[in-house]
Amino acid sequence: MISIDRSFFLIDKLAQTNSLTQEEYEYLICNQNKRTAEYLFERSRAVRESFYNKDVYVRGLIEFSNYCKNDCFYCGIRRGNVKAQRYRLSDDDILACCEEGYQLGFRTFVLQGGEDNYFTDERLVSIISRIKESFPDCALTLSFGEKDYEQYKAYFDAGADRFLLRHETADSNHYSRLHPKELTLENRMQCLYDLKKIGYQVGTGFMVGSPFQTAGNLAQDMVFLRDFQPHMVGIGPFISHRDTPFHNMQSGTMEQTLFMIGLIRLTLPQALIPATTALGTIHPQGREKGILAGANVIMPNLSPMTVRKKYMLYDNKISTGDESAQCLKNLCESMESIGYRIVVDKGDHVSFK
Ligand code: 5AD
């Protein structure tokens, strides 16, 4: 079979069975081109629309602390970056962000931050309870890294609904080239299984085009997603940050990221898949193209304007344009221009409705 025919065959197989072998995923990733990508996106859009119609869910992202005890080689808020200007939001700041977001139509808030020990479990439980009491019709998503089972359980019992923790790469050797040795893939996986067991809607994901990543690694990521069955999957291109050890490394591409979104949609037909800020950063239409490749979520920034530029995970992270929650109207218009609509909805995974 010539390569394009085999690619079409494998895309059809994936659409029908939601599963390929690692070798088959790798074949598709290695042999992708414009034609196979378009063929893939036609199918991934159809699958997405069968569960979520033309709806796009929005999440208000609140970046509540950029202190981090970790030193991940790729990340701009790593402990070792002495140039990062650190900040923390107070409980009242966070509540004010939610209030503003609620008025704008958000029904999910995402509390995202570095691994910051200032935020003890007691503080976290208190802020989670306050948010859920003030906004009982909203979902609360957490995203602040690795904790142990009891800690995750305490946040869940306080009312948190969802947790985002990217696995970053499913290959342990690759993992160790992106992280210092105190961080292991084994522990990351343990966290993900704990979160699922507790009852969270769980999100994971990875960077596309991260340093040392191979097509085989991306295929391993797909196999992991297929087997783990997360509710949400966030992926975006790696983008180098000037004050990290990876400052000279090449960034990932939009095309590769879109292709991976298509594969993820066909593997996890019901998943919540955001068109991420990183995708919007490498291309002005990145998020729209992400939706057209099968994504169904957008996460505008609700953080106070005064701190936005400080949450710089990578160079040139967009923070004052249409990706901001305050510009929801522009976002609505841009989604309508491609045939989709932003909805006022918690936007749960279909299995949680
Ligand atoms: N480029 C792209 N994404 C990054 N992240 C961290 N640093 C970068 C970077 N330089 C992603 C990681 C992390 C998420 C919060 O942001 O995947 O899990």
Backbone CA torsion sign across 339, 344, 349, 350: negative
Could you tell me if 138 and 109 are in contact, meaning their C-beta atoms sit under 8 angstroms apart? Answer: yes
77 lines ligand 1 (CB under 6 A): no
Going by C-alpha positions, the residue among 297, 320, 352, 351 that lies closest to residue 60 is: 297
* Ligand 1 atom nearest to 240, measured from its CA: 10
Region 245-272: mean pLDDT is 98
* Sequence-distant (≥ 6) Cβ neighbours of residue 63 within 8 angstroms: 112, 113, 301, 303, 307, 308, 311
Backbone CA torsion sign across 44, 317, 32, 37: positive
Cα–ligand 1 centroid distance for 133 (angstroms): 31
CA gap 138, 350 in Å, rounded: 16
Q: Which of 72, 73, 146, 207 to mutate to test the pocket of ligand 1 (most atoms within 8 A of CB)?
A: 207
Backbone CA torsion sign across 115, 128, 233, 201: positive
75 lines ligand 1 (CB under 6 A): yes
207 lines ligand 1 (CB under 6 A): yes
Region 47-51: mean pLDDT is 97
78 lines ligand 1 (CB under 6 A): no
Could you tell me if 289 and 48 are in contact, meaning their C-beta atoms sit under 8 angstroms apart? Answer: no
Give the C-alpha distances (Å, rounded to integers) separating 208 from 22, 63, 303, 340. 17, 22, 25, 25
40 lines ligand 1 (CB under 6 A): no
349 lines ligand 1 (CB under 6 A): no
Strand extents, DSSP E, the chain: 55-58, 60-65, 108-113, 139-143, 162-164, 201-208, 232-237, 297-298, 341-343
Share of the chain above pLDDT 90, in %: 93
Going by C-alpha positions, the residue among 68, 110, 119, 328 that lies closest to residue 203 is: 110
| Residue whose entry in the numeric block shows the structure tokens 């790469």 | 169
236 lines ligand 1 (CB under 6 A): yes
Whether residue 322 has pLDDT greater than 70:
no
Could you tell me if 250 and 240 are in contact, meaning their C-beta atoms sit under 8 angstroms apart? Answer: yes
How is residue 243 annotated by DSSP? T
144 lines ligand 1 (CB under 6 A): no
Region 326-345: mean pLDDT is 92
167 lines ligand 1 (CB under 6 A): no
What local confidence, expressed as pLDDT, does residue 64 receive? 98
Helix axes of 254-267 and 215-228: crossing angle, nearest 10 degrees: 30
What local confidence, expressed as pLDDT, does residue 328 receive? 86
What local confidence, expressed as pLDDT, does residue 353 receive? 82
Long-range Cβ contact pairs of 179-188 (< 8 A, separation 24 or more): 179/70, 179/72, 179/73, 180/70, 180/71, 180/72, 180/73, 183/70, 183/72, 183/146, 187/146, 188/146
Region 15-29: mean pLDDT is 98
For all residues of the chain together, what is the average pLDDT?
A: 96
Whether residue 160 has pLDDT greater than 80:
yes
Whole-model pTM: value is: 0.97
Pick the residue with more confidence: 320 or 210? 210
Confidence category of residue 323, pLDDT binned at 50, 70, 90: low
Whether residue 53 has pLDDT greater than 90:
yes
Q: Which of 74, 179, 212, 235 to mutate to test the pocket of ligand 1 (most atoms within 8 A of CB)?
A: 74
* Sequence-distant (≥ 6) Cβ neighbours of residue 314 within 8 angstroms: 74, 75, 76, 238, 239, 240, 241, 278, 281
238 lines ligand 1 (CB under 6 A): yes
Tokens (6 digits) for 157: 């019992």
Per-residue pLDDT of 71-80, as tens digits, reads: 999 999 999 9
CA gap 123, 264 in Å, rounded: 36
Q: What is the 3-state secondary structure (H, E, C) of 86-113?
A: CCECCHHHHHHHHHHHHHHCCCEEEEEE
Region 244-259: mean pLDDT is 98
Residue having the nearest C-alpha atom to atom 14 of ligand 1: 166
Whether residue 332 has pLDDT greater than 70:
yes
CA gap 258, 34 in Å, rounded: 11
Cα–ligand 1 centroid distance for 186 (angstroms): 19
156 lines ligand 1 (CB under 6 A): no
* Ligand 1 atom nearest to 241, measured from its CA: 10
